[in-house]
A and B are shown apart, each in its own frame.
Chain A
Amino acid sequence: MSTLTATREARRPEVTVLDVDAIVARTNPHNTLRQTVSQTMSMAWRATKKMRRNPEQFFDVTFQPIIFTVMFAYVFGGAIAGDVKSYLPLMIPGILAQTVLTTCMATGVQLREDMDKGVFDRFKSLPIARIAPLAGPMVADLLRYTIAATLTFAMGMVIGYRPGGGVLGVTAAILLAIFTGWCLAWAFTWIGTIAKSAQAVQGFSMMILFPLTFLSNAFVGINTLPDGLATFVKINPVSHLVTAARDLANNGQVTSEVWWTLLAGLIVIAIFAPLSVRSYKKHL
């Protein structure tokens, strides 16, 4: 016993003494806004590294716009608009909205997967803003929205779409879609923080996604729908995005639909960002 004690002491010859009071005095009670932004950008950096090392994460944003654009154009074009070419101005903004929404869903699924990993334990134990681990990946996802939106228009033009709004109109439509996607992603992030598994997020998000995209004017005109359905379609925020994108891309017009879309997006953030942070904290 005595030998053990002796070795223990012999192994710690010089001990540095920390001035703990000074260290405690240097701690901050809260993160400043600047710190929060910087932490979010660090988390965004992490997410882009992850994307680069797992390129399969880009499959949904590359193949879906290409395949869906071609598929919908040739399957529904003749039936809905008489021919493919006259269907494109109606359909491309619809596909744009649909693609962006699917990308949002991936945000929630990936967050859920990520949160189960050990590194999130460390994020929680660090003095960082609780919103940073959620907002960081979403900032990186802006890249995914941009790819998805741009590819949708590019593919449309390959099969004969000639947007009347010109470069400016199309760019505006793409930016609006990216913004809306980013706002709506907060709702899926919230689902990501409350669901038990990534599969659950996927399943639940699909149930929301399908009615939202198909019960809108994304692929057909509202005048073809029965009254009750038409009412829902008119208030569906996806319809506002689709109409706004059509006005911008096809006519180069900034209509009131743009403002409705922006407002709807901000409302979604105002509701779901705090909910997400709260439920993320609960996960501790």
Chain B
Amino acid sequence: MPTTTNAVQATGLVKTFGTFNAVDGIDLEVRQGEIFGVLGPNGAGKTTMLKMLATLHAIDGGSASIFGVDVAKEPHRIRQLLGVTGQYASVDENLTATENLWLFGRLQGVSSKEAKDTAARLLGQFALEEAADKPISQFSGGMRRRLDLAASLITRPPLIFLDEPTTGLDPRTRGQMWDTIRGLVADGSTILLTTQYLDEADQLADRIAVIDRGVKVAEGTPDELKSSVGDSTLQLQLADGADQNLALDVVRRIVGQEPVLTPESGRLNVGLDLADGAADVLIGLRQAGVSITSVSVDKPTLDEVFLALTGHDTGTAETTHDEELETVR
């Protein structure tokens, strides 16, 4: 670390819409040079929080500073330190890719010639040279995202906000975006990204904060977070829902922890420290005479992390809770 100033330092952030607190007292500390992931389901307040830090929403409570500059007091300085890439590509549909980058460069005081050079360099870097003079309306989703990210990098901001950078992208494009993001950090940028995907946070982030309903429910490295639910998950579908209690007993005895009931009848998720443990559970169930219609072993999903951390899944908690009671009955 060159200095001790944090890239982002936020205390007790609050954003209220009417009577609803979209962000309800979040503390955030992003160190220089790291990728910090904000993980949470739709509507958790991730985007709202990012917009507050980017001066796009007023801060209703708490305070925030970026590289030591106060966000509420000096928004104009903050905007010079940030590159923001939103969930929806914020580029101009009426302009070509080159024209877009040129315009954003000019708006930030870059000379016409330099803006042209920067546009060409960025289009090359993001593999968009061939589409340089095409209107954006002909761009695919992945191309738009890349152009959008390129547009955030014109002035080489030291801090970059990425709001769900890969939502809606196909797996290959997603991998390319991940590589690009790693490259930005290698160039010295600090990155604050939001995502709905645990694997994305796992792949990219040095540290993760899990946000739910405007509140931070957990924070740590990806490994710390995943260890709260085990390294993998065994998903079981019982042939007969009536065997459920018996199956629960078997699992408790073998794994030594409580399995998670999903809303579907006769379905359990078992957190495992090692995938090998699955065999022990299956043998135990066979010995107890519990028959199974399907089995799979998977990495823990965001849903499971959520269940483990918050006690409810990423959907609306009330209905899920009711359904769980139904299942138990």
- What's the least CB distance linking B291 to chain A, in Å? 33
Q: In this assembly, does B108 line the interface, its C-beta being within 8 Å of a C-beta of chain A?
A: yes
Say whether A42 contacts B103, CB under 8 Å.
yes
Q: Is the CB of B57 within 8 A of A15?
A: no
Question: Could you say which residues of chain A place their CB within 8 Å of the CB of B64?
Answer: none
Q: Is the CB of A54 within 8 A of B94?
A: yes
Check B109 against A35 for contact (C-beta < 8 Å).
Answer: yes
- Number of residue pairs across A and B with beta carbons under 8 Å? 132
Instruction: State A42–B84 Cα separation when bound (angstroms).
Output: 20
Quick one: given A16-B188, A30-B76, are A4 and B222 in contact (CB under 8 Å)?
Answer: yes
B76 touches A31 (CB 8 A): yes
In the complex, A53→B99 CA distance in Å?
13
Q: Is the CB of B2 within 8 A of A19?
A: yes
Which parts of A7-34 form the interface with B (CB within 8 Å)? Answer: 8, 11-21, 23-24, 27-31
Chain A residue numbers with a CB within 8 Å of B109 are: 35, 38
B88 to chain A minimum Cβ distance, whole angstroms, is 5
| Residue numbers in B under 8 Å from A162 (CB-CB) | none
In contact, A20 and B32 (Cβ under 8 angstroms)? yes
How many Å lie between the Cα of A42 and that of B182 in the bound state? Answer: 33
Answer whether A4 and B108 are a contact pair too, CB < 8 Å, given A20-B67, A23-B158: no
Q: List 13 A-B contacts (CB under 8 A).
A: A1-B226, A4-B202, A12-B186, A18-B189, A20-B67, A21-B2, A38-B109, A50-B94, A53-B135, A118-B88, A121-B90, A122-B90, A125-B82
Contacts of A50 in B (CB 8 A): 94-95
Closest to A126 in B: B107
| Complex Cα–Cα for A128 and B188 (A) | 25
Given A21-B5, A28-B80, A284-B56, A126 contacting B108 (CB threshold 8 A): yes
CB of A85 within 8 Å of the partner chain: no
Does A158 belong to the interface (CB within 8 Å)?
Answer: no
Query: Is A118 a contact of B76 with CB atoms below 8 Å?
Result: no
Q: Quick one: which of B77, B107, B186, B188 contacts A39, CB cutoff 8 A?
A: B107
Write out the residue numbers on chain A whose beta carbons fall within 8 Å of the beta carbon of B57: 284
B107 close to A42 (CB less than 8 A): yes
A4-B222, A125-B82 known; A21+B188 contact, CB < 8 A: no
Interface pair B56/A128, CB less than 8 Å apart: no
Is A12 touching B185 in the complex (CB atoms < 8 A)?
yes
In angstroms, Cα B135 to Cα A121, docked, is: 19
